[in-house]
Amino acid sequence: MIALGGISFAADLASWHLGILRTTLANATLLGNSATLMFPIYGFLIARAWPTRLQGCALALAAIGAGLLMGRSYQLDPRHLAGDLLCVLAGLLYTVYFILMARVRAVLAPLPALALSTVASIVPLLCFALLLGEKLLPTHWAPLIGLALVSQIVGQGLMIYGLGRLPPLTIGLALLVQPMVGTTIGWVVYHEQLGWADWVGALLVAIALVLVSRPARA
């Protein structure tokens, strides 16, 4: 399970990083985060039960909120087809990674699970880079070290921790925090103008997260 999880994670990163160069940032973010829908659906199928009324309401609000957050900038363009398909594949592979690592977390603590799956992803990623003839060593190490510490160790570490303690629906909806953070960074750092759709979308996602967390607290 750990080896397959590492391979799935490596393939997810490879697909998304190839896709983002062939489509828009908004498309890549939206399609790459399709695990927000796929993983909860997997959870419902495994449980063999439809979501409760509260869960269905939360999922609907989250879907509408995500659409408002990214729908304004999403573009359908034949020139982006290859990149869009690669990002959809990345979202599917990310869902497979979640499924496998959720099973691993049933018998293994978060840090060993993260460390072993990361090790398992090294060789596949190296093979992808060699096959594509990409540069292996960076010119500046600071951004790479920052990504390793923030995105991989802290971000993925917290995600792996959550996989062992929260249901798939909560995990899937929590992933919608990513576009909210991206929108906030665009507003604060890059002075991007936010419209009413952005504010309403963020509010709907926040409400969905509150609703879906109520049964977990109970």
Instruction: Enter the pTM of the model.
Output: 0.80
Widest CA span in the chain? 53
Q: Which of 186, 161, 175 is nearest to 208 (CA)?
A: 175
Taking phi over 0 as left and psi of -120 to 50 as alpha, with beta for the rest, 25 belongs to: alpha
Q: How many helices (H) and strands (E) does the chain have?
A: 11, 0
Between residues 50 and 32, the one the model is more confident about: 32
What is the model's pLDDT at position 61?
87
pLDDT band at 217 (very low <50, low <70, confident <90, very high): very low
pLDDT band at 164 (very low <50, low <70, confident <90, very high): confident
For 85-125, how does the pLDDT look when each residue is reduced to its tens digit (9 = 90+)?
Answer: 898 899 999 999 999 999 999 899 999 999 999 999 999 99
For 126-143, how does the pLDDT look when each residue is reduced to its tens digit (9 = 90+)?
Answer: 999 999 888 999 999 999
Q: How far apart are the first and last CA of the chain?
A: 31
